[in-house]
Amino acid sequence: MKPSDSEITNADGARSLASSIKERASALPAILADGLEAGAEALRQQRPRSGAATPGTSVAVQDSPITELTDTLASGMKSSADWIRDADLEKLKGGVEKQVKEHPGRSLLVALGAGFLLGKILRR
């Protein structure tokens, strides 16, 4: 039995869609790393400058806990971006599969939490 033209068209469309999804997925690490670096830079630009005079006064601002926290967070975001760029995705995939097999309940909770956070971020 020979497939109909609509079946061939549907199969080609499915292959095209799968190819498009693979291309987008392969670009995700770079997009995520770029976003993390942009966020780190934005944090650094928005934090109070240490040693800078407070507007309207000649009093210099010392490093506050907020400034230190901002620097730490920005550094962590930059480190995460570098790690994402350098990560071996096949090795990472194998590690995730091993974790899921060994700890399915915990893996499910982590996935739910990550999905919730991503949903919150993407909804903005």
Residue 99 lies in a domain: yes
Residue 103, in any domain of the structure = yes
Rounded to an integer, what distance in angstroms lies between the CA atom of residue 7 and that of residue 91?
A: 38
What tens-digit pLDDT sequence spans the chain (124 residues)? 666 656 567 777 788 888 888 787 778 888 888 998 998 998 888 876 655 555 555 555 566 888 888 889 899 999 989 988 888 777 888 888 999 999 999 999 999 999 998 888 888 7
Cβ atoms of residues 49 and 71 within 8 Å: no
Sign of CA dihedral 48, 52, 58, 64: positive
What is the separation of C-alpha 66 from the centre of its chain, rounded to a whole number of angstroms?
Answer: 24
Question: Is the residue at 84 inside a domain?
Answer: no
Domain that holds residue 102: 89-124
In a domain, 112, yes or no: yes
116 in any annotated domain: yes
Q: pTM to 2 decimals?
A: 0.50
Q: How many domains does the chain have?
A: 1
